[in-house]
Amino acid sequence: MHPLKIIIWSPKGCGNHYYGPGKNAFNLYSEIKKSKELDLVLVHAYPGHEDLTLFDEVYKIGDFKQNKLIPFIKYTCKAFGILWKYRNQGFIFHGLDVYSNIFVPALIAKALGYPVALKLAAFPSGFSASNNKLLLIFRRKMISYIDIFFAISHEIYDELESLKVDSKKIKLVYNGVKVPEYFKGSSEPPSVNIRTILFTGALVRRKRPHLLIEAIGISKSPHSWKLLLVGPTQDQCYLDEMKALVEEYGLTKRVQFLGFKSDLRDFYLSADVYALPSLSEGMPNGVLEAMSYSLPIIISNFSSANILCNNGNGYVADSEVEISNCLDLFLANEGDFSKKGNKSLELIELNFKLTNISKSYIQIFNEYIE
């Protein structure tokens, strides 16, 4: 049996520090390694990346925040050197998105003879959304050179088709999550009559966590809720605005800004509802993880929302008023915390188990092993 040889290209790294594609890829390859011989090389540009035994080799080639021309040229030269080193050894290039610091190395890899796979982790993707129109044109012109596109939602799949990508190259494979050994299943009411809403992810305007503060503030019973915001601050002005909202609604004892946490297990276990009112997502890991802990969800109508939430396990809500109405519904129907939470776990078991997702990746990659 041939080993699976992968070069993971992720400027933001691969591990628990990166809530998005990096964490998902780390969990995915940890699962793959249980059933498949695996040679794994990580190339990143994340300062202070943790040491992880999953990888056979790790290369740091710059700082992902340095996106000016000279640092990017140096980054590209180092990228070429690494890809030259591993050429003709049976490695597959796996990029964890399609932005320039991944897409340019992907094209270099293709020129050196690698099979190239790119995961599209957001919708709209970097093939359709960019502040730089020239980069957008360049990516679209070069899109045909990529061998595999992993689309994590139907919306992303449709986007690629609209860009005239050969449908044989597009692989619809959802993000996967490991079902924890412990999950909630009790319908017993809490000992204290306060319910906890959990948000995880970067505190940025795109994810709109401020809507959760406003929703609690205008709900029928604002002091029946506690909001935990777990994630790094990337916009100090936005954080200050949210703190002002907390003061305005008199929720200083009800909203906690907890910063980045690498281990989210205890937060999932202590929460009653998971909420993500983001403007745009691919298929967010936080939602999947929350569902695996039998949490009901309140999410906005982003890509993949229609398969993550079917009203049996929560609600789709796009404004502070709609979210507030959902909160009122939960309090009016206490049994829904458990009932909808159990439905979340059922959906995970049906569509998003990491063991099944890993098998799909192995099957796809095996087609490129000589």
- Given a cut of 50, whether residue 186 has pLDDT beyond it is no
pLDDT band at 131 (very low <50, low <70, confident <90, very high): confident
pLDDT band at 1 (very low <50, low <70, confident <90, very high): low
Task: For 294-320, write each residue's pLDDT tens digit.
Answer: 999 999 999 999 999 987 999 999 999
Classify residue 103: in a domain, yes or no: yes
Task: For 10-66, write each residue's pLDDT tens digit.
Answer: 999 999 888 889 999 999 999 999 999 999 999 999 998 999 999 999 999 999 988
Classify residue 272: in a domain, yes or no: yes
* Same domain assignment for residues 212 and 110: no
Total domains, the chain: 2
Judged by phi (left if over 0) then psi (alpha if -120 to 50, else beta), residue 141 lies in alpha
Classify residue 99: in a domain, yes or no: yes
* Same domain assignment for residues 267 and 161: no
* Same domain assignment for residues 275 and 337: yes
- Global pTM reads 0.92
* Same domain assignment for residues 150 and 261: no
Question: What does DSSP assign to residue 177?
Answer: B
Task: For 145-181, write each residue's pLDDT tens digit.
Answer: 999 999 999 999 999 999 999 999 999 999 999 998 7
Mean pLDDT of 73-101: 96
Phi, psi of 168 (to 5 degrees): -70, -25
**Measuring CA to CA, which residue among 162, 138, 40, 45 is closest to residue 94?**
40
What's the CA gap between 240 and 82, in Å, rounded?
Answer: 42
Classify residue 181: in a domain, yes or no: no
pLDDT band at 182 (very low <50, low <70, confident <90, very high): low
* Same domain assignment for residues 148 and 206: no
* Same domain assignment for residues 157 and 222: no
Domain that holds residue 298: 195-352
CATH of the domain at 82: 3.40.50.2000
* Same domain assignment for residues 67 and 80: yes
* Same domain assignment for residues 338 and 199: yes
Mean pLDDT of 343-370: 93
Centroid of chain to Cα 212? 20
Classify residue 189: in a domain, yes or no: no
Mean pLDDT of 242-246: 98
User: Which has more pLDDT, 66 or 125?
Assistant: 125
Phi, psi of 59 (to 5 degrees): -125, 130
What's the CA gap between 58 and 22, in Å, rounded?
Answer: 14
* Same domain assignment for residues 312 and 292: yes
Instruction: Pull the structure tokens for residue 148.
Output: 């595999």
- The confidence score (pLDDT) of residue 112 equals 98
* Same domain assignment for residues 146 and 279: no
Classify residue 319: in a domain, yes or no: yes
Classify residue 187: in a domain, yes or no: no
- The confidence score (pLDDT) of residue 184 equals 47
- The confidence score (pLDDT) of residue 146 equals 98
- The confidence score (pLDDT) of residue 65 equals 86
* Same domain assignment for residues 120 and 230: no
Question: What does DSSP assign to residue 62?
Answer: S
**Whether 101 contacts 72, CB under 8 Å:** yes
Classify residue 347: in a domain, yes or no: yes
Q: Could you give the count of Cα atoms lying within 13 Å of 240 in the half-sphere of its Cβ?
A: 3
* Same domain assignment for residues 105 and 231: no
